[in-house]
Amino acid sequence: MNSLPEPVVTLEIREDAVALLRISRPDAKNALNNAVREQLAQHFRALAADVRVRAIVLTGSAQCFVAGADIREFADATPIEMYLRHTEYLWEAISRCPKPVIAAVNGFALGGGCELAMHCDIIVAGESARFGQPEVKLGLMPGAGGTQRLVRAVGKFQAMRIALTGCLVPASEALMIGMVSEVVSDDRTLPRAIELAAQIAALPPLAVAQIKEVMLAGADLPLDSALVLERKAFQLLFDSKDQKEGANAFLEKRKASFVGE
């Protein structure tokens, strides 16, 4: 009888509508193997449809976010084997999640770990965090968005330096070049990420979802087209109960109660 795969990603759904996902492969520094990718994808697909959840925090351990992909799983792989794995479908479960995703990063976020963090919408980094795309040192290149998301985040010249040298980027530098959202002390990384997620979760879900969707979709459009997309989403929100509740609560000087309708 086949046993269920060992849970290497754990899920906690909190009372503040925040879901906390933890990657837990301590013996491998949380390296991304197929089990981690599949369990992450399963969780993200489920959380996307879970009405209890309005924001998601993704983290590793206090010492390491994700040290990279598990090299043992691809060291001798052929191109066709890599193609047939179709890991892009697993990554898409994260990138297409309609709910805000916040990465809490301590320690190494390298290779696939750096790409995983860049799939998120906000990155809170501890002072110990180190980011990098060192695939070039293995005769490879980033293959899960590392070249494309990185250049969009930090611009051509920083992205080229990081990807072509495989250098490590400390948290303070990552903040300076726009690679992360905030840097805090290591003991504050996860609490701060949860704090931000709870703050977002308390806001109108439809407005939050539209902001995320339009920002991501508009980033790859000409400005005029992106502005049309923004206007239509803005106008659409006037049909929501939450918009009326927010306006009335402001005028009545009371706290709004948002229901996601």
Q: What is the CATH number of the domain that holds 69?
A: 3.90.226.10
110, 132 contact by CB (below 8 A): yes
**Same domain as 215, residue 133:** no
Tell me, what CATH number does 232's domain have? 1.10.12.10
User: What are the CA-CA distances from residue 247 to residues 60, 180, 253 (Å)?
Assistant: 39, 33, 10
| Domain membership flag for residue 2 | no
Report the alpha-carbon distance of residue 152 to residue 26 in Å, rounded. 31
Q: Tell whether 189 and 219 lie within a shared domain.
A: no
Residues 195 and 210 both lie in one domain: no
The sign of the CA dihedral 172, 174, 176, 180 is negative
Residues belonging to the active site:
69, 112, 115, 135
Domain membership flag for residue 3: no
The answer to whether residue 227 sits within a structural domain is: yes
pLDDT digits (tens), the chain, 261 positions: 445 567 899 999 999 999 999 999 988 899 888 899 999 999 999 999 999 999 999 999 989 999 987 777 777 778 888 787 788 889 999 999 999 999 999 999 999 999 999 999 999 999 999 999 999 999 999 999 999 999 999 999 999 999 999 999 999 999 999 999 999 999 999 999 999 999 999 999 999 999 999 999 999 999 999 999 999 999 999 999 899 988 888 998 888 889 888
Whether residue 259 lies inside any domain: the answer is no
145 and 231 together in one domain? no
| Distance in angstroms (rounded) separating the CA atoms of residues 175 and 130 | 11
Assigned domain for 244 exists: yes
CB of 112 closer than 8 Å to CB of 144: yes
Q: Which two tokens stand for residue 261?
A: 């309708």
Query: What is the separation of C-alpha 93 from the centre of its chain, rounded to a whole number of angstroms?
Result: 11
Please report whether residue 256 resides in a domain. no
At 5 the pLDDT is: 63
Q: Is the dihedral of CA 68, 72, 73, 76 positive or negative?
A: positive
The span from the CA of 154 to the CA of 212, in Å, is 19
Q: What pLDDT is stored for residue 257 in this prediction?
A: 84
- The residue from 162, 178, 201 where one domain ends is 201
Residue 143 near residue 135, CB atoms below 8 Å: yes
Q: Which residue has the tokens 């494309």?
A: 148
CA atoms of 102 and 193, how far apart (whole Å): 6
Residues 245 and 184 in one domain: no
Q: What is the 3-state secondary structure (H, E, C) of 140-167?
A: CCCCCCHHHHHHHHHCHHHHHHHHHHCC
13 has which bridge partners?
A: 19
- In this structure, the answer to whether residues 59 and 156 fall within a common structural domain is yes
Question: Which domain covers residue 137, as residue numbers?
Answer: 9-201
Tokens read off for 136: 């070039």
Helix 146-154 vs helix 156-165: angle between axes, to the nearest 10 degrees? 140
Q: What share of the chain is helix, strand, coil (3-state, %, to 5)?
A: 50, 15, 35
In this structure, are 100 and 161 located in the same domain? yes
Structure confidence at residue 86 (pLDDT): 82
Look at residue 257 and tell me if it is in a domain. no
Mark whether 168 and 237 lie in a shared domain. Answer: no
If one counts every other C-beta atom within 10 angstroms of the C-beta of residue 83, the result is 10
Map residue 51 onto helix, strand or coil: coil
Distance CA 179, CA 12 (A): 27
Within-domain flag for 140: yes
Q: What is the pLDDT of residue 70?
A: 76
* Pair 177, 242 in one domain: no
Per the structure, the count of domains in the chain is 2
237 and 195 part of one domain: no
Give the pLDDT score at 1: 42
Same domain, 110 and 220: no
Last residue of a domain, one of 201, 218, 238: 201
Residue 145 · residue 119 · CB < 8 Å: yes
Q: Are residues 148 and 107 in the same domain?
A: yes
CB count within 10 Å of CB 235 equals 9
Residue 4 pLDDT: 52
Confidence at residue 38, expressed as pLDDT on a 0 to 100 scale? 93
194/2 Cα distance (integer angstroms): 36
